[in-house]
Amino acid sequence: MVITVISSAQVKVDVKKKVNDQANSRANSHADQAIDNAFNKLEDGIGGLFKKNRKKKKKDNNNEQQQTQTQTQTQQNSSNNQAAEVVVVEEVKPTGAKATWSKFDFVPGDEVIFEDAPSADEENGEFPSRWDLYKGNAEIGEVNGENVIMFLQGGTIVPYLKNSNEDYLPEIFTLEFDFYFKPGDTYKRYWIYFYDFKNQRSLGDISTDLEVYVNGLEFGSSNKRYPGTEDYNWGANPIGGWKHVSVAYTKGKFKAYLDDTRLINIPHLEGNPVGVTIQGESADEMMYIKNIRIAKGGVKYYDRVLSDGKIIVNGIRFDVNKATIKPQSNGAINKIFSLMQKQPELNFSVEGHTDSDGDEAANLELSKARGKAVMERLISLGIAADRLKYNGFGESMPIAENGTAEGKANNRRVEFVKF
Domain ranges, ordered by start, for the chain: 111-296, 301-418
Rounded average pLDDT over 57-70: 37
Range with top average pLDDT, 13-17, 312-316, 351-355: 351-355
Banded pLDDT at 86 (limits 50, 70, 90): very low
| d(C-alpha 370, C-alpha 414), whole Å | 8
Q: Would you say residue 367 has pLDDT above 80?
A: yes
| d(C-alpha 107, C-alpha 399), whole Å | 20
Banded pLDDT at 183 (limits 50, 70, 90): confident
Angle between helices 330-342 and 301-308 (to 10 degrees): 70
Rounded average pLDDT over 249-257: 92
Banded pLDDT at 285 (limits 50, 70, 90): low
Q: CA of 164: how far to CAs of 224, 257, 308, 392, in Å?
A: 31, 26, 33, 37
301-418 has which CATH code? 3.30.1330.60
Domains 111-296 and 301-418 are alike in CATH topology: no
Give residue 237's pLDDT.
62
Rounded average pLDDT over 17-22: 45
Give residue 88's pLDDT.
34
Banded pLDDT at 75 (limits 50, 70, 90): very low
How much is the mean pLDDT over the chain? Answer: 78
185 or 97: whose pLDDT is higher? 185
Rounded average pLDDT over 375-387: 96
Banded pLDDT at 409 (limits 50, 70, 90): very high
The architecture (CATH level 2) of 111-296 comes to Sandwich (2.60)
Quick one: which of 312, 286, 293, 315 has its CA closest to 301?
312
Banded pLDDT at 182 (limits 50, 70, 90): confident
Q: Would you say residue 89 has pLDDT above 80?
A: no
C-alpha radius of gyration, the chain, whole number: 22
376 or 88: whose pLDDT is higher? 376
265 or 188: whose pLDDT is higher? 265
Rounded average pLDDT over 255-274: 91
182 or 265: whose pLDDT is higher? 265
Q: CA of 66: how far to CAs of 69, 215, 226, 258, in Å?
A: 9, 14, 11, 20
Q: Would you say residue 191 has pLDDT above 90?
A: yes
Give residue 284's pLDDT.
61
Q: Would you say residue 197 has pLDDT above 90?
A: yes
| CB-CB neighbours of 63 under 10 Å | 10
Contact 58, 234 (CB under 8 A): yes
Q: Look at strands 388-392 and 348-353 and give their pairing.
A: parallel
Give residue 192's pLDDT.
97
Cβ neighbors of 22 (< 8 A, separation 6 or more) are none
Range of weakest confidence among 101-105, 111-115, 283-287, 412-416: 101-105
HEC string of the chain?
A: CCCCCCCCCCCCCCHHHHHHHHHHHHHHHHHHHHHHHHHHHHHHCCCCCCCCCCCCCCCCCCCCCCCCCCCCCCCEEECCCCCCEEECCCCCCCCCCCCCCCCCCCCCCCEEEEEECCCCCCCCCCCCCCEEEEEEEEEEEEECCEEEEEEEEEEEEEECCCCCCCCCCCCEEEEEEEEEECCCCCCCCEEEECCCCCCCCCCCCCCCCEEEECCEEEECCEEEECCCCCHHHCCCCCCCEEEEEEEEEECCEEEEEECCEEEEEECCCCCCCCCCEEEECCCCCCCEEEEEEEEECCCCHHHHHHHHCEEEECCCCECCCCCCECHHHHHHHHHHHHHHHHCCCCCEEEEEECCCCCCHHHHHHHHHHHHHHHHHHHHHHCCCHHHEEEEECCCCCCCCCCCCHHHHHHHCEEEEEEC
| d(C-alpha 238, C-alpha 232), whole Å | 11
Contact 338, 300 (CB under 8 A): no
Rounded average pLDDT over 226-251: 77
| d(C-alpha 333, C-alpha 136), whole Å | 40
204 or 381: whose pLDDT is higher? 381
Range with top average pLDDT, 82-91, 98-107, 210-219: 210-219
| CB-CB neighbours of 152 under 10 Å | 15
Rounded average pLDDT over 65-80: 36
Banded pLDDT at 134 (limits 50, 70, 90): very high
Range of weakest confidence among 16-25, 85-94, 272-281, 366-375: 85-94
Range of weakest confidence among 78-87, 140-149, 283-292: 78-87
pTM for the predicted model, two decimal places: 0.67
